[in-house]
A and B are shown apart, each in its own frame.
Chain A
Amino acid sequence: MITQLVYGLAGIVLFLLGVWSFLVHDPLLRKLIALNIMGAGVFHILMAVAYRGLDAPPDPIPHALVLTGIVVAVSATALALTLGQRLERRDD
């Protein structure tokens, strides 16, 4: 129970750190990392929710959500990096 709570709270802290970093830092790469940290925070919470004790198997739904969320985050990050690269190339 305590482990679960620590995991969940750590997720919320990660999310807040991500928001702070996203709003404060200007470079694209830092913003993207911040967004991914926010995502990691949410996934942390979902993992904590899935835990149902040592004897019972974990709840599969949050796991499915995390997997889908990772796919979405990867594609969004890839697109943002491509657009950013296009901008940098023009700077030269």
Chain B
Amino acid sequence: MIDWLALTVALPLLGAVFAVVLPTRARGIGMAAALLTTAMALSVSVQVVQGITLRSDLGGWGAPLGIGLQADGLSAALLVMANLVALGISAYALDYFDAGSRRHFWPLWLLLWTALNGLFLAVDLFNIYVTLELLGISAAALGALTGRREAVAANLRYLLVGLLGSMTYLLGVALAYTGLGTLDLGLAAQALTPGPLAWTIFALMLGGLLLKTALFPLHFWLPPAHAQAPAPVSAALSALVVKAAFYLILRLWLDLFGPVAGPAAGTLLGMLGAGGVVWGSWRAFRAERLKLLAAYSTVAQVGYLFMFFPLMAAAAIPRRQELFGALVLLALTHGFAKAGLFLSAGLLQKTAGHDRIAELGPATQSLPAVAFAIGFAGVALIGLPPSGTFVAKWVLLSESFASGQWWWAPVVLAGTLLAAAYVFRLLANAFGPGLQPGAAGGGDQSQCLVPIGRAVQAPALLMTLIAVVLLGLGAEPLWTLLQEPPP
């Protein structure tokens, strides 16, 4: 019998090892591992959709002692998104790096992928810590890959902040083991009773993870780190790594801290989220560089995710399910859209030699498919129909009115308007003055445009198409998938 769950984690790890041993073949090995891993993750998700409960105890050691992997609707949904996005990033990265960076990129990238898949499937608190650290270390190393001073400085700070976050989480784990006597999520949830100890564990774990999710005002490390990384890495950091920490918050909130996490904690998260929406969107609107804009837009989108918590804490079961589905849909849509946006930004940067938004006109016009992808990503970031974001924001707005918490609505409105403003600022380049030799400022730039092949543009376009069309029009099965199994 094939252990699908173990293979989903082991394949990228094997690929990483081989890519280190055979650096000249790193690219081929990396792509093969990427394809196989994605196939495994998809087959895991297909089995979850069919209603098969997947659980594997590695080495035959059971729950209290061994390491377990498990897949349910929530992890399957994120697993599919993360692996498809990662496959797209891999295809894009094939020709992105020169031979020198390539042999460093592939092992680290496959290691990051291992950590992601392990994190989505982990069912014990300490295992989550290990995957979280593995994710943070490989992400910081990848972000500093260019070796430029700003990139190294930004990613060193990212690493240190990440370590602070995971150490805080680890203290929570130690206290959880002290108080509950187990690390397995299911067993710990049964043992947890509201009280000072439960609140302390909750605060420590949540605090550590919030730092890693870059919830406002803990977002300060994100924009420089994400903007300075090479484009494929930025895409992975913004679309996947931040989502992984968010997934853990959601998982712990729902599965472990149900009796502890009340409306008060939810409202606090919602308020911080609202701050992130306004501040992130504003800074994105004011940003002068494309990748910084995309990074601040991530701060805003993370904010929306947290605005679901006060509504979920107050809602009864059927409505809660609806909000839960919309929340996951928003996370998935943002994953695809933001990855597409960063990959597009990377192509523009390669073509033009810079990413100053005001001077990107000629480059944008020379790459119609990239301009299209930016447009689609914009539709998803603003939340125009038929994108998945539109559906999610619709649920968010209608639930906030229905539950009497109307004050979230103006925040959504302001964030959406600002998002429209920053997206249209980007798109204006596609229609602005372009390749006119002799025109002020435009003439000399057009001569140094670097040509870009068609195939490299495909991943970005496909990912943004998934965000807008597939997740918007075909979102309904997600709610069925996330349906809590009857107790």
Q: Which residues of chain A have a CB within 8 Å of any CB of chain B? A: 8, 11, 15, 18-19, 22, 28, 31-32, 35, 38-39, 41-42, 45-46, 49, 61-62, 65, 68-69, 72, 75-76, 79-80, 83-84, 86-87, 90
Query: How far in angstroms is the closest Cβ of chain B from A71?
Result: 9
Closest residue on chain B to residue A39 by CB atoms: B167
- Interface residues of A, dominant DSSP: helix
A75 and B137 contacting across the interface, CB-CB below 8 Å = yes
- Known contacts being A35-B160, A35-B167, is A76 close to B137, with CB within 8 Å? yes
B167 and A87 contacting across the interface, CB-CB below 8 Å = no
**Residues of the A chain whose Cβ atoms lie less than 8 Å from the Cβ of B178:** 8, 45, 49
* Contact pick for B137, options A8, A65, A79, A84, CB 8 Å: A79
* A72-B130 Cα distance, complex, nearest whole Å: 8
Closest residue on chain A to residue B65 by CB atoms: A61
- Which of the listed residues B141, B153, B160 has the most CB atoms from chain A within 10 Å of its own CB? B160
Q: Which of B169-219 contact A (CB under 8 A)?
A: 170-171, 173-175, 177-178, 183
**Could you tell me how many residues of chain B have their Cβ less than 8 Å away from some Cβ of chain A?**
31
* Contact pick for B126, options A11, A39, A65, CB 8 Å: A65
* A8-B147 Cα distance, complex, nearest whole Å: 42
B170 and A39 contacting across the interface, CB-CB below 8 Å = yes
* A46-B172 Cα distance, complex, nearest whole Å: 11
A42 and B133 contacting across the interface, CB-CB below 8 Å = no
**Residues of the A chain whose Cβ atoms lie less than 8 Å from the Cβ of B159:** 76, 79-80, 83
* A15-B147 Cα distance, complex, nearest whole Å: 33
Q: Which of B118-148 contact A (CB under 8 A)?
A: 126, 129-130, 133-134, 136-137, 140-141, 144, 147
- Known contacts being A31-B160, A39-B167, A86-B147, is A76 close to B133, with CB within 8 Å? yes
* Contact pick for B144, options A32, A45, A75, A83, CB 8 Å: A83
A46 and B174 contacting across the interface, CB-CB below 8 Å = yes
A87 and B149 contacting across the interface, CB-CB below 8 Å = yes
* Contact pick for B133, options A18, A28, A41, A72, CB 8 Å: A72
* Contact pick for A87, options B64, B152, B171, CB 8 Å: B152
The list of the 8 closest CB pairs from A to B, nearest first, reads A83-B156, A45-B174, A38-B167, A72-B133, A49-B178, A42-B174, A42-B170, A42-B171
- Known contacts being A39-B170, A69-B170, A83-B140, is A46 close to B130, with CB within 8 Å? no
* A72-B136 Cα distance, complex, nearest whole Å: 11
A83 and B126 contacting across the interface, CB-CB below 8 Å = no
* A43-B141 Cα distance, complex, nearest whole Å: 26
B171 and A15 contacting across the interface, CB-CB below 8 Å = yes
Task: Decide if B155 is an interface residue (CB 8 Å cutoff).
Answer: yes
